Amino acid sequence: MSMASVSRLGGPHPSGNRQALPPEKDTRRRSTPYLLLLPGLLWLGAFFALPILTLSGTSTQTRAPGGEVGEFIQTLRLANYWEAFDRYQEHFGRSVLYAGMATLAALLIGYPLAYMIAFRGGRWRNVLLVLVVAPFFCSFILRTYAWRQILADEGTVVRTFKWLHLMPEQASLTATAFAVVCGLTYNFLPFMTLPIYASLERLDHRLLEAGHDLYGGPWTVLRKVTLPLSMPGVVAGTLLTFIPAAGDFVNAGLLGTTRTQMIGNVIESRFIDLNDYPTAACLSFLMMAVILVLVLVYIRRTGTEELV
């Protein structure tokens, strides 16, 4: 019997048992994912792509001859980028250095904290997680101001350091690079802790038990099993900490001096105080480029390209 006859008699069809949908329903089903993406795409277009394009146009402008302060014309002057980088390269280096130090400090603090919550938290796990994110319930600026009191000359930290002879009697921690790095570390510590906790919490405990069964000590199991398996969380945490820390200007402005200014302070000053919009736009693009290159190199070196 031919396939056509089987089809006429109600038998199986070469295309399977799935019934063909009417054209209008099939079109609607195919367009549903794109309709769901539309609000997000509109949001990104209005509040990300459009501002980036506007900023790009601003970066190649020059001051209008005889114009007022803040009045610029489009001249497509690409030399603005080199002049901005050459003038503020020290601030770029300082931003990368401070952000790197804060990221390393957050990792050294956040990994043990996440490990303790994931494996030793028990019934207090949810409470501990709330305590990790509790600082976010307070203003970012108030939290940074609090560090001015913590590191003040009459504070407990400085008096303890001097009592232990770790600081000279005339030394101070406020208005220093140390204070800026402390503020960055504290403010972005949850961004490091939570991804690492999520990675550790999903670990298969049988793998850890197998490591101990193979006569691996606690440090060996941590180094050979736990740490490699939690690397996606470590990489995500370091990126979520380093990227906003490199562009931050609040901590350097409140806890530092003009000698500890980061590139974010220069951009903020050029935009708001001096109305030098082309230089500020160039610095913004250059900072984004520096961060993008560092992130790509870091991801390739850690072997986690799938994260991007």
Q: What is the pLDDT of residues 84-103, one digit of tens each?
A: 999 999 999 999 999 999 99
Residue ranges of domains in the chain = 72-307
pLDDT for position 33? 82
Mean pLDDT, residues 188-216 taken together = 87
Highest mean pLDDT among 68-72, 104-108, 217-221: 104-108
Each residue's pLDDT tens digit, 241-264: 999 999 999 999 999 998 999 999
Distance of alpha carbon 52 from the chain centroid:
19
pLDDT attached to residue 20: 60
Superfamily (CATH) of domain 72-307: MetI-like (1.10.3720.10)
- pLDDT value of position 166: 85
Q: What is residue 303's predicted lDDT score, i.e. its pLDDT?
A: 67
> From CA 84, how far away is CA 278, in angstroms rounded?
9
**Angstrom distance (rounded) from CA 286 to CA 199:** 33
Average pLDDT over residues 261-284: 93
- pLDDT band per the 50, 70, 90 thresholds, residue 21: low
* Segments in 175-308 forming alpha helices (H): 177-201, 205-213, 218-221, 227-229, 231-246, 250-255, 263-268, 277-302
Confidence label for 15 from pLDDT (cuts 50, 70 and 90): very low
Residue 233 has pLDDT above 50, yes or no: yes
Choice between 212 and 288, residue whose per-residue pLDDT is larger: 288
